[in-house]
Amino acid sequence: MGATRIPGNITQGSTAKGGIGESTLRPDGTLKVTGEFAYSSDMWHEDMLWGFTLRSPHAHAEIKSIDTSEALAQAGVYAVLTYDDLPTDVKNYGLEIQDTPVLAHGRVRHHGEPVALVAADHPETARRAAAKIKVEYVQLPVVHDEQTALAEDAPLLHPGRDDHHAGHVPHPNVVHRQPIHRGDVAAARARADVIVSGEYVVGMQDQAFLGPESGLAVPAEDGGVDLYIATQWLHSDLRQIAPVLGLPPEKVRMTLSGVGGAFGGREDLSMQIHACLLALRTGKPVKIVYNRFESFFGHVHRHPAKLWYEHGATKDGKLTHMRCRIVLDGGAYASASPAVVGNASSLSVGPYVIDDVEIEAVALYTNNPPCGAMRGFGAVQACFAYEAQMDKLAAELGMDPVEFRRLNAMSQGTLLPTGQVVDSPAPVAELLRRIKAMPLPPERQWETAGESADVRALPGGLSNTTHGEGVVRGVGYAVGIKNVGFSEGFDDYSTARVRLEVVGGEPVAVVHTAMAEVGQGGVTVHAQIARTELGVTQVTIHPADTQVGSAGSTSASRQTYVTGGAVKNTCEAVREKVLELGRARFGSYHPAWATAELLLESGKVVTDGGEVLADLVEVLEGEAIDLELEWRHRPTEAFDLHTGQGNGHVQYSFAAHRAVVEVDTELGLVKVVELACAQDVGRALNPLSVVGQIQGGTTQGLGLAVMEEIVVSKEAKVRNPSFTDYLIPTILDTPTIPVDVLELADEHAPYGLRGIGEAPTLSSTPAVVSAIRAATGLALNRVPVRPEHLTGT
């Protein structure tokens, strides 16, 4: 036994190298920079076929007939499938409501809906064969907004629906409605010295993850199928896939491939069932890879929204009341709409103290593209509106907009409109103080720089449209609140399997979860947690698959909290087993085995005083400790359907932004000069990754502010399904993003951490628009802001 002594009074993990709190590097980094990392579109199998999806050219139509004979006759084609070929009675799928047809049955409800599938020996053969499928459509009238959807004679998207929301909605074309009432709005309104109202519009944003929907389905000898796929939640996919295929879940073996981003767009199924159907039909491996055009039709988008808000305040700047109505366009199928309604309504007041509120949020069924999860999930739309309202109120009161917000900021102990107490730090005022205190970038750099003035830093950039003429600066602020984890009573658990064994004379931990690593760095954090909890250096992250229990979704900012929590929990249980084993083997040699608090540090069992009792290698002695455990955060409850009351949320995440913009008022071009963010992260498990998440989320918010929108015509047709016409920020559009990270621990969460991925996407958008308003004096109640909104042309 070694005589090494670690300094006294240590706690578990305090001496761990590469443990939590360090900016350890990604375990998949090397593979990702050499091009070897295997994404779902990189899968290849000998003898594989290519699948292709024929989609509806219409937003709403009856299918009179489908003739596949010519397609089937084409050389190189192995299968053509339509609704009639589905093998079981289960023909639909869906996250919460199973209303989405695997293949259209007699009717298409949105532009791009899948109608038929082709498998062929070359992708071009499959495309050409699909073009030979003759589908006879009779177009139907579309509903595309609240007025048309709720008209008395409106065509119903899902006549005879019997889902669990059907009974309480005011119209069958309303997916879900959530009112929230608290306090006495009439009385509070009477106390207001100023009242401001406004109607706000948020366009349809796309996740625009770069790795397209793709995967490889390989038929197995046992009649099952192996699916290699990019998703956000393997087990949710499995639950929806297996019944359609008519296979027991254990015969649909799913392995996560490399995922090229997600941002909510991979919560719903895309090509998963289609690839499996083709593989099972042909007996050959089938690969499906969407191109960018198809990807715009292949996943749900962020709900476009119309939001009406009224706020009142006393002349000393205290908010009196809020009334709002939020209408979200869910498109043709439910997807995550009900949960988005829950978020939009329960977070509609923002991070402010308002006791008297009347709130209503609804999601509609229309013939527009289906909308569901995207980073920020209902809270993004609300934040744009309430932050515009805060600026309006401050202006009306003649107050500084930041001071006005600070005066009304929520803090620990504040009641949400749902009656839930915010029982962890809510440093809203502090975040605002910090963001305002950050130094501002120099003004009119093109004048001070003289000859070396760089046109690339001006609005219009390399287009060389201005050298400063007509350019004005504006500064804007915003702050937001996002819930973390699945809410409203959902059993939001995760599972982690941890195996500790000696390999090559060294203790090694293997962490196995089904968590979808989509780029967020969960794999990095899991290794850090295992090092901290088990005092080992070597950690292997097992590929994510369905051979281990569900990890829940990589969404709702929840994975570090919930699967991180699960890894921590299993590691703790493994540690206990190690100590039990040690006591059994060596307990008689040293009294500390029985009396001291024992830790695992640097591959040894030590006392909290730092005395080494045994090497882990000796304790394990060739034995492996292998545990798989589920872990849950505090339970939540549903919101009351009439009052909206209920402890619906687990945790909250707060971020604040300050935007500095320069606007060429003559051409309507906006240059975001700087977009600073301050965010409370509870505890930064990996500071480098935390900052990366904040900067990435901030940039997506910038995109929504000034460029990103899926344009849908009145006929409910998508007009811009390409990166030529749907613009996401380039490196030239994106400013410097200084980040101030605050760490106030949430005592209810593992290590005090807070889910962080979404909050920065909320306040970024309203901060940018606030800055443009400050620069131009325009009202700007719609995002994205386009040049014509600024020039009035």
Partner 1 sequence: MRLTFTVNGRQQEADDVWEGESLLYVLRERMGLPGSKNACEQGECGSCTVRLDGVPVCACLVAAGQVQDREVVTVEGLADYARQRAEGGCGTGACGTSLDDAKRWQSKPADGRTGEAGAFPQQLSAIQRAFIDAGAVQCGFCTPGLLVAADELLERNASPSDEDIREALSGNLCRCTGYEKILDAVRLAAARTEEAV
> Whose Cβ is closer to partner 1: residue 27's or residue 87's?
27
Q: Which of 39, 137, 486, 631 binds partner 1 (CB under 8 A)?
A: 39
Strand duo 604-607 + 598-601: pairing = antiparallel
Would you give the binding string for partner 1 spanning residues 700-729, x where CB under 8 A is met? x---------------------xxx---xx
d(CA 542, CA 545): 9
Token couple for 93: 């799928």
Residue 210 Cβ, how far from partner 1 at the closest point, in Å? 4
Q: Which of 692, 743, 782, 787 binds partner 1 (CB under 8 A)?
A: 692
Size of the site for partner 1 (CB under 8 A): 75
d(CA 243, CA 224): 12
Token couple for 117: 């599938």
> Which residue bears the tokens 């596949």?
68
For the stretch 548-577, what's the b/e string if a residue is b when 16 or more beta carbons lie within 10 angstroms of its beta carbon? bbbbbbbbbbbbbbbbbbbbbbbbbbbbeb
d(CA 225, CA 223): 7
451-480 residues in contact with partner 1 (CB under 8 A) are 454, 456-457, 462
Q: Which of 547, 695, 781, 791 binds partner 1 (CB under 8 A)?
A: 695
> Whose Cβ is closer to partner 1: residue 599's or residue 771's?
771
Tell me the C-alpha to C-alpha distance, in Å, between residue 432 and each of 376, 402, 437, 679.
20, 7, 9, 10
Cβ 749 vs Cβ 561: under 8 Å: yes
Q: Residue 3, interface with partner 1 (CB under 8 A)?
A: no
Q: Concatenated DSSP letters for 87-131?
A: -SS--EE-SSS--EESS--SEE-STT-EEEEEEESSHHHHHHHHH
Q: Residue 14, interface with partner 1 (CB under 8 A)?
A: no
Using CA atoms of 238, 759, 203, 114 in order, give the dihedral in degrees to the nearest 10.
-10
Alpha helices (H) in 299-378, listed in sequence order: 337-346
Q: Residue 547, interface with partner 1 (CB under 8 A)?
A: no
Residue 597 Cβ, how far from partner 1 at the closest point, in Å? 33
Q: Which of 15, 18, 21, 23 binds partner 1 (CB under 8 A)?
A: 23
> Whose Cβ is closer to partner 1: residue 374's or residue 562's?
374
User: What's the chain's Rg over C-alpha atoms?
Assistant: 28
Token couple for 441: 């970038």
Q: Residue 519, interface with partner 1 (CB under 8 A)?
A: yes
Q: Residue 87, interface with partner 1 (CB under 8 A)?
A: no
> Whose Cβ is closer to partner 1: residue 70's or residue 545's?
545
Q: Which of 52, 93, 200, 209 binds partner 1 (CB under 8 A)?
A: 209
Q: Residue 374, interface with partner 1 (CB under 8 A)?
A: no
Ramachandran quadrant class, 183 (left: phi over 0; alpha: psi -120 to 50; beta: rest): left
Amino acid at 128: R
Cβ 18 vs Cβ 25: under 8 Å: no
Q: Which of 4, 11, 17, 38 binds partner 1 (CB under 8 A)?
A: 38
Residue 545 Cβ, how far from partner 1 at the closest point, in Å? 9
> Whose Cβ is closer to partner 1: residue 33's or residue 437's?
33
Q: Residue 53, interface with partner 1 (CB under 8 A)?
A: no
d(CA 765, CA 388): 10
Residue 578 Cβ, how far from partner 1 at the closest point, in Å? 23
Segment (H or E) for 493:
strand 493-503
Residue 674: helix, strand or coil by DSSP? strand
Q: Residue 15, interface with partner 1 (CB under 8 A)?
A: no
> Whose Cβ is closer to partner 1: residue 540's or residue 781's?
540
> What is the chain's percent helix, strand, coil content, to nearest 5?
30, 25, 45
610-669 residues in contact with partner 1 (CB under 8 A) are none
Residue 118 Cβ, how far from partner 1 at the closest point, in Å? 17
Q: Which of 334, 523, 548, 616 binds partner 1 (CB under 8 A)?
A: 523
310-349 residues in contact with partner 1 (CB under 8 A) are none
Residue 427 Cβ, how far from partner 1 at the closest point, in Å? 23
Q: Which of 71, 289, 705, 775 binds partner 1 (CB under 8 A)?
A: 289
Of 150, 130, 128, nearest to 57 by C-alpha is 130
Q: Residue 506, interface with partner 1 (CB under 8 A)?
A: no
d(CA 182, CA 346): 11
Residue 23 Cβ, how far from partner 1 at the closest point, in Å? 7
Residue 649 Cβ, how far from partner 1 at the closest point, in Å? 26
> Whose Cβ is closer to partner 1: residue 394's or residue 669's?
669
Residue 416 Cβ, how far from partner 1 at the closest point, in Å? 30
Q: Per CB under 8 A, which region of 327-335, 398-406, 513-521, 643-651 contacts partner 1?
A: 513-521
Q: Which of 358, 387, 430, 517 binds partner 1 (CB under 8 A)?
A: 517
212-241 residues in contact with partner 1 (CB under 8 A) are 212
Alpha helices (H) in 309-363, listed in sequence order: 337-346
> Whose Cβ is closer to partner 1: residue 426's or residue 660's?
660
Residue 31 Cβ, how far from partner 1 at the closest point, in Å? 5
Tell me the C-alpha to C-alpha distance, in Å, between residue 782 and each of 200, 761, 770, 785, 790.
6, 17, 11, 6, 12
255-274 residues in contact with partner 1 (CB under 8 A) are 256-263
DSSP 58: S
Cα end-to-end distance, the chain, whole Å: 82
725-754 residues in contact with partner 1 (CB under 8 A) are 728-732, 734, 736-737
Token couple for 331: 């498109």
Cβ 66 vs Cβ 80: under 8 Å: no
Alpha helices (H) in 315-427, listed in sequence order: 337-346, 379-397, 401-407
Residue 289 Cβ, how far from partner 1 at the closest point, in Å? 7
Q: Residue 187, interface with partner 1 (CB under 8 A)?
A: no
Q: Which of 354, 691, 705, 783 binds partner 1 (CB under 8 A)?
A: 691
> Whose Cβ is closer to partner 1: residue 168's or residue 456's?
456
